Structure 1
Amino acid sequence: MIPPWRLMAKKAARKTWILVSDASRAQLYREEPAGKGFTLLESYNHDESRARVRDLMADAHGRKPNGTSGGNSSPVGGPGGQYLGRPGAAPDTDPKEVEKQKFAQELAEVLEKGLNEHAYETLVLVAPPHFLGLLRGAVSKQVSNHIETSVDKDLSWLDGPRLTERLRELRAG
């Protein structure tokens, strides 16, 4: 049997990464042993998540073909039928949501690479609820198994000292 003090020492020595993010920016930290704070490993920005929808759609959908010759947009199958297309159709997916998903996938790839390189053993995710869900959905099963804690708060806007203080509070309690 392993003495309890050895288990505690092993847990304290675990390499932990903390990802603090929102849909457009992220900071990846390493928690230093013995309460010595946090080291910023990398910052990530995804400006497209902050862009206006019309800027994301530079080649805007404008009009979709209606599936009939001569531009007739009458219903298929007579009255009450469905239109095959309509002028000025909205895109099928919100472009901003697509950009958020892309950023979540980009971060998931960073976390996967770090795990494969044995850069961390445990992972803490801190993000607003919606983006946290996207992140959790984007990470692999292997990365998911290393998530120690998820915190559904947006701390990405905090400056260095205030963020460090909040991370200490989260890790202590």
Structure 2
Amino acid sequence: MADKLWILVGNASRMRLFSADERGDDWQLREEFRHDESRAHNGDLKEQRDNPNGGTLHGPNEETEPDARQELEHERFARELAGRLERGVDSHTFERLIIAAPPTFLGRLRKALSKRVLQRLVLDLDADYSNVPARELPNRVPVI
């Protein structure tokens, strides 16, 4: 049986996915996602990774693009989350979606979402609730 509502809350390095009933009650933690590279400093991200820069021959230039490596990690995490949400659509696991994340990461995540996922997005909040205890989230995230 499909959950009526999924709620994704967090930031560029940690997200939690909850499910809830039609009225937004009975929140249940479904999954937690961590992307430690998003928290790392650019100097710590110098090592070569598979496809480190999305297709160019050289990685980001540290002098001209000091935050580029971290931005790449944020984009990777956004794509990972978008893929998980897409699989939820494919399996008819949820009907509606709410996302709460800081503005910059929320924009990256929205950009990574497919049209099918965006059609289920009923609310996005510019808020970082990554450190809010799960029991308090239903009081902070309005359910439409």
User: TM-score, with normalisation over the residues of structure 2?
Assistant: 0.81
Question: Match for residue 160 of structure 1?
Answer: 134
Unaligned runs of 5+ in 1: 1-12, 60-87
The alignment partner of 1:96 has SS state of: helix
User: Does residue 30 in structure 1 map to residue 4 in structure 2?
Assistant: no
Q: Relative to structure 1, is the Cα distance of residues 34 and 132 closer, same or farther in structure 2, using a 3 angstrom cutoff?
A: closer
* Structure with bigger RCO (C-alpha 8 Å, 6+ apart): 2
**Greater fraction of residues in strand:** 2
Unaligned runs of 5+ in 2: 49-60
Question: Match for residue 171 of structure 1?
Answer: 143
Select which of 92, 100, 112 maps to 2:74.
100
Question: Match for residue 90 of structure 1?
Answer: 63
The alignment partner of 1:90 has SS state of: coil
One-letter amino acid of the structure 2 residue matched with residue 58 of structure 1: E
Which of these two proteins has the greater Rg computed from alpha carbons? Answer: 1
Which segments of structure 1 move beyond 4 Å, counting only runs of 4 or more? none
Percent identical pairs in the alignment equals 39
Distance 2:43 2:25 in 1: 46
Matching of residues 14-93 of structure 1 within 5 Å:
15-34=4-23, 36-58=25-47, 90=63, 92=65
User: TM-score, with normalisation over the residues of structure 1?
Assistant: 0.68
* Higher mean C-alpha displacement, 154-163 vs 16-25: 154-163
The alignment partner of 2:31 has SS state of: strand
The alignment partner of 1:105 has SS state of: helix
Question: Match for residue 139 of structure 1?
Answer: 113
Q: How many residues matched?
A: 130
Work out whether residues 85 and 117 of structure 2, in 8 Å CA contact, stay in contact via their aligned partners in 1: yes
List per-residue Cα deviations over 1:115-152 (Å, max 9, x = no partner): 11000011111111111100100011111111111111
Q: Relative to structure 1, is the Cα distance of residues 48 and 148 closer, same or farther in structure 2, using a 3 angstrom cutoff?
A: same
Q: Relative to structure 1, is the Cα distance of residues 51 and 45 closer, same or farther in structure 2, using a 3 angstrom cutoff?
A: same
List per-residue Cα deviations over 1:24-65 (Å, max 9, x = no partner): 000001012455420000000000000111110136xxxxxx
Work out whether residues 32 and 39 of structure 1, in 8 Å CA contact, stay in contact via their aligned partners in 2: no
